Homo-oligomer: A and B are copies of this chain.
Amino acid sequence: MSFANHLENVTIQPKISASQAIPPVAVPFVSEKAKKHLDLVERWVNEECIPADTVYASQLNTTTNRWTGHPSVLDHMKKRAKELGIWNMFLPKNHFANEGSPGFTNLEYGLMAEQLGKSRIASEACNCAAPDTGNMEVIARYGTRAQKDQWLKPLLAGEIRSGFLMTEPDVASSDGSNIQLRIEKKSDHWLLNGSKWWSSGAGDDRCKIFIVMGKTDPNNSNKFLQQSMLLVPAETKGITVHRMLSVYGYDDAPHGHGHISFKDVKVPLDSILVGEGKGNEIMQGRLGPGRIHHAMRSIGAAEVALEWMIHRLNDERKTPFGKPLREHGVLIEWVAKSRMEIDASRLVVLNAAIKIDQKDAKFALREIAEAKVLVPQMALTVIDRAVQVHGAMGIRTLRIADGPDEAHLQQLGKRENKERKDEIIAKFARQTQTAEKLFKQMGLTPYLLGAEKFRSKL
């Protein structure tokens, strides 16, 4: 696919490294240690992860069972990441100094997450993939020593994976208080009944532990105190994974998004996180930093899309209407807008990250919400432009089949201009002449606003 086979000796690294490209306004918030690590991550993503993405895709397409066969290249890459010390960067230093935090702030990890977002496998390869990151934060912050030993340790080591089960099929679960899964307290166990879906990661055989949100006190007048969270081993009796949901044609195997039911599922009383009624509070704390991570990864994805756009604009074989793509003004405008929108979004996310670092996610509600809404819209827009630039190669059937919109618009516009210009120019000229005659005929002089203003006096 490349048309650059002659560029043998060009280095793969950008002229300006990631740490040099930090927006000036954010520079004071990044330590020298973090800058160094950021550049290491960038190099690793560019030089190792993105090439490995191709291998991953190929392995996934040839496996006989997409849901059980794990592409071996991922283990290869995890080993390599550990060697390089690129591991668990998401654990922020102000909260998890004693839990294995590598010592970065949310802002600093955010900058690294942008790099990870450029590759399909990088996040998982360095144990920084959702939903494990959020789950590890939850257990690290709210878990008992025993819970940490049992689940946090293997998660931090990348030996198992986890699920976070909140969304439910039959309610508007974007409003958390609607959650219906019932958790009853019995003499020596919790009894769970209900169902969940969009349970990300539930398709993965290595997913061993679910954090489950449900209602322990459905009649509490304070709807924010009705929920609790439990640690539930994924293979507990009574749990059935019915199917994997697909997203726009992607099943996201072997990770998957499961539809899961709980029928009389029993777990010990010490499976609860913190205590009864704390579900909502834990969830609020969990979401903030995760949104920063997601947002920065999406920004990384948008940067890659912009790179593909530029790559394509300089493909000398593509010369619609006789000139290379980079001389088509519409496409250059797309590059500019993408550059602008990515840069603006990044500043919004970094500003939110700093506010979380200064105190916590609750303190930064407005900033996090802005990042949450702004970044995905930006990313979709930028990626959409990149796809459209690639025409058939990155096809969006409807808008490209039979020629891209842009080609049709150019022809439509040129035709309109060609057919009508003489007529319009002549008409306007004549109308001006007629107006002049009318002024004369009515004995009037044309007046210009402010014409009584000063004339030169010196």
Contact = CB atoms under 8 A, between A and B. Distances in A.
A298 B398 CA distance: 8
Interface string A331-358: 1111111011001110110110011001
A5, A55, A291: most-surrounded residue (chain B CB, <10 A) = A55
Contacts of A59: 444
B402 A50 contact: no
Given A249-B249, A432-B2, A453 B10 contact: no
A246 B291 CA distance: 30
Given A374-B344, A425-B3, A450-B243, A23 B351 contact: yes
Contact of A235 (B365, B421, B456): B456
A423 interface: yes
A454 B317 contact: no
Contact of A421 (B314, B404, B405, B445): B314
A67 interface: yes
A244 B351 contact: no
Contacts of A5: 429
A146 interface: no
A178 B50 CA distance: 33
A17 interface: no
The count of identical subunits is: 4
A425 to B, nearest CB: 4
Interface stretch (A84-92, A165-173, A214-222, A271-279): A165-173
Contacts of A58: 439, 444-447
Nearest to A430: B12
A48 interface: yes
Given A67-B453, A172-B318, A343 B336 contact: no
Contact of A62 (B253, B402, B447): B447
Contacts of A233: 458
B449 A401 contact: no
B171 A317 contact: yes
Nearest to A76: B442
Contact of A406 (B198, B247, B333): B333
A191 interface: no
A83 interface: no
A313 interface: yes
A265 to B, nearest CB: 8
Interface of A is mostly: helix
Interface residues of A, number: 180
B52 A408 contact: no
A269 interface: no
Contacts of A444: 55, 58-59
Contact of A25 (B29, B287, B337): B29
A237 interface: yes
Contacts of A330: 329-330, 333
A455 interface: yes
A281 to B, nearest CB: 17
B377 A431 contact: no
Nearest to A399: B376
A416 B46 contact: no
Nearest to A342: B370
B73 A420 contact: no
A256 interface: yes
B7 A414 contact: no
A199 to B, nearest CB: 10
Contact of A343 (B4, B170, B348, B393): B348
Given A244-B453, A249-B248, A430 B10 contact: yes
B178 A339 contact: no
18 contacts: A4-B425, A10-B426, A11-B426, A47-B430, A67-B453, A76-B442, A171-B318, A173-B392, A238-B456, A242-B453, A248-B249, A310-B420, A311-B428, A330-B333, A333-B406, A340-B348, A372-B408, A376-B405
Given A178-B319, A307-B427, A343-B348, 7 more contacts: A5-B429, A67-B452, A174-B407, A307-B428, A335-B417, A336-B408, A347-B351
